[in-house]
Amino acid sequence: MGVPLVQVRDIAMKYHSPEGEILALDGVTLDVDKGDFISVVGPSGCGKSTLLNIIAGLVRPTRGVVTIDGRPVEGVSSLVGYMPQTDQLFEWRTVWKNAILGLEVQNKLTAEKKEFVQSLLARYGLWEFRNAFPRQLSGGMRQRAALIRTLATDPQILLLDEAFSALDYQTRLVVSDEVKDIIVQERKTAILVTHDIAEAISMADKVAVLTRRPGRIKAVHDIVLTCAERTPIKCREAPEFRDYFNAIWKELDIHAG
Amino acid sequence: MQVKDAAMSPEHLAYLRSLRRKRRNIAAARVLLLVALLLLWEVGANLGWVNPFITSQPSGIVRTIANLYRDGELFRHIGVTVYETVVGFTLGTLLGTAIAVVLWWWEGLAKVLEPYLVVLNSLPKISLGPIIIVWIGSGSAAIIVMALLVSVVVTILGVYSGFGQVHPDRIKLLRSFGASKGQILLKAILPGSIPTVVSALKINVGLSWVGVIVGEFLVSKAGLGYLAVYGGQVFRLNLVMTSVIILAIAAALMYQAVVFLEKLFTRWQQ
């Protein structure tokens, strides 16, 4: 496989406020190979979203470097596609206009790119809805539209920041199946940040566990599940699922109350 | 709405009927109330319960309107006032939105100006009337500036806080595409704030009427405010009442026009 696509090296992040400073991350090191789907789980407030923002080039770390494809990250890059917590479709734009938002911003709206977005919409069942406004779509369709918006600029790495947390449980299961399927089909590398252990295991090839603040990588698990269809919902029934869940649960060291 | 729709149960039909009946009754009561008040006013004035010299009376108002119309004055006065109001609130809204954009762009400036805006917002802008007349003179321009002043500060504050309500994830998303500040403004902040701007427009219509009428009270030789003040000075209460009633109708119509605009601009919400 050679050099990992994403290399996170000894990242630390401090936040300052009049009340004092907070060390959100301290010495995070992580490799992500091309084509991998890796989940990062951690207790709330452990800085997992911060880590994602740093990889996306939206925030500069206090210490350490991230390299993507051998080059250090110094700002946002078209290699990376970012998916926020909620779909953030623009209500006043149609599905089509939402899908081409990134291309529009980057001034890359060529006929060829338009065709590419058309094919994405068609492949994932949104072409008939291209003229619909977001409020006319179901939760699952909205999430697919948001994913296509990110895929439209053809990034290599997708960063999913608790991307399903705003959805209700049933929709969330269906959407994670769909999203996983699309990411595999489009051969993307993905990093999913979540606090949901089951979601993390069911979607990913690897799960990285972050400690409580200041966040550090505590362990990285290779997820190997025996299930007929490798879809997140089916994988939840795999015999190994419980074991992974229990191991990660212990590592997270969550105390009630 | 067909009553004899086979798909509807008798209970549902009865419900729909009672709904229609209720709506009809309310509409009828509204009309009746107006007619009763006008009748009472007219009869009371004729029978000497109230003095029509100081209360005016509906037949007198109708006569006044007819006279004004015959002299070609009616639409001139309405036109002047409506023009001043429309220009005033349009400029107030545009200028207020533009200033809000400037404040959004330079956050430091917004911080510096915050206390000044708060003071200006609580100041009754009408009190600036005399200053404006001295500076701009006594014409339509001074009145338009009054109307503008009344609405501009509240627009700045409303629209600026609307800008702040755009979800940070939305800005982050655009930044992840490499968007510049100007692109963030044009693609997310401004279009996302259209509902806020339109609701500012709704408030501004009412405020601008106040600005224009007070302006016309102070200076001017035409307009509904001028008519009302003139009528008061020469004790022609018919004229005063006439201008007030026309004003009420014009203001209501203009408000409806803005509501229509709102529907037009926010079609994606429906």
Residues B43 and B76 grouped into a single domain: no
Banded model confidence at residue B1, pLDDT cuts 50, 70, 90 = very low
Pick from A86, A102, A106: CB nearest B169:
A86
pLDDT at A2: 74
Note whether B194 contacts A: Cβ–Cβ < 8 A: yes
Contacts of B33 (CB under 8 A, 6+ apart): none
Q: How many Å lie between the alpha carbon of A142 and the closest alpha carbon of chain B?
A: 15
Residue B57 within a domain: no
- Is A121 within a domain? no
User: For chain A, which residues score pLDDT lower than 70?
Assistant: 1, 255-257
Question: Is residue B268 within 8 angstroms of chain A, CB to CB?
Answer: yes
Residue A232, domain CATH? 3.40.50.300
Quickly count: other Cβ atoms within 10 Å of residue B36's Cβ.
Answer: 10
SS3 A89: coil
What are the residues whose beta carbons fall under 8 Å from the beta carbon of A225, sequence distance 6 or more?
A201, A235, A238, A240, A241
Based on the domain organization, do B75 and B5 belong to the same domain? no
SS3 B106: coil
Min CA distance, B167 vs chain A (Å)?
8
Residue A202 lies in a domain: yes
Whose tokens are 């990889």? That residue is: A55
**A&B contacts, CB < 8 Å:** 56
Pair A248, A221: CB distance under 8 Å: yes
Contact A82 B169 (CB under 8 A): no
CA distance A240 to A248: 13
Could you tell me if residue B60 is inside a domain? no
- Residue B262: its chain A contacts at CB < 8 A? none
Residue A86 tokens, joined? 């909620």
Least confident of A89-93, B1-5, B128-132, B199-203: B1-5
| B173: nearest CB among A80, A88, A91 | A88
Binary contact (A76, B177; C-beta < 8 A): yes
Q: Taking a C-beta distance cutoff of 8 angstroms, is the pair A64, A10 a contact?
A: yes
Q: Are residues B15 and B147 in the same domain?
A: no
Residues of the domain holding A205? 1-73+189-257
- What ipTM does the predicted assembly reach? 0.91
Average pLDDT over all residues of chain B: 91
Residue of B nearest to A163 (CA): B169
Cβ(B89)–Cβ(B147) under 8 Å? yes
- Cα–Cα distance measured from residue B149 to residue B133, given in angstroms and rounded to the nearest whole number: 13
Instruction: Let me know if residue B77 belongs to a domain.
Output: yes
pLDDT for the residue numbered B270? 61
Question: B113 and B198: one domain?
Answer: yes
Tokens of A185: 């089909």
Specify the DSSP element, H or E, that contains A123: helix A111-123
Cβ contacts of B167 on chain A, cutoff 8 Å: 86, 88
On whether the CB atoms of residues A67 and A30 are closer than 8 A, the answer is no
Q: Which amino acid is at B206?
A: G
Q: Which residue of A has its CA nearest to B181?
A: A105
| Average pLDDT value for chain A | 91
The answer to the question of residue B58 being in a domain is no
Number of domains forming the structure of chain A: 1
> Around Cβ B109, how many Cβ atoms within 10 Å?
12
Q: Which of B170, B175, B194 sits opposite A58 (nearest CB)?
A: B175
- Taking residues B260-266, what's their average pLDDT? 85
pLDDT bin (cut points 50, 70, 90) of residue B117 is very high
pLDDT of residue A89: 95
pLDDT in tens, A169-216: 888 888 888 899 999 999 999 999 998 999 999 999 999 999 988 889
Q: How many domains does chain B have?
A: 2
Check A101 against B183: CB less than 8 A apart: no
Q: Does A104 touch chain B (CB under 8 A)?
A: yes
Same domain, B37 and B86: no
**H or E segment at B242?**
helix B237-265
Q: How is residue B187 annotated by DSSP?
A: I
Q: Is B70 on the interface with A (CB under 8 A)?
A: no
Q: Note whether B16 and B102 are same-domain residues.
A: no
* CA triple A151-A135-A92, angle to 5 deg: 75
Contact B178 A105 (CB under 8 A): yes
Residues 160-179 of chain B with CB under 8 A from chain A are 167, 169-170, 172-179
User: What pLDDT score does A231 carry?
Assistant: 84
The amino acid at B98: A
Residue A257 lies inside a defined structural domain of this protein: yes
Any chain A CB within 8 A of the CB of B264? no
Domain residues for the domain of B177 are 65-269
Whole-angstrom Cα distance, residue B148 to residue B141? 10
3-class secondary-structure state, position A39:
strand
Note whether residue A120 is domain-resident. no
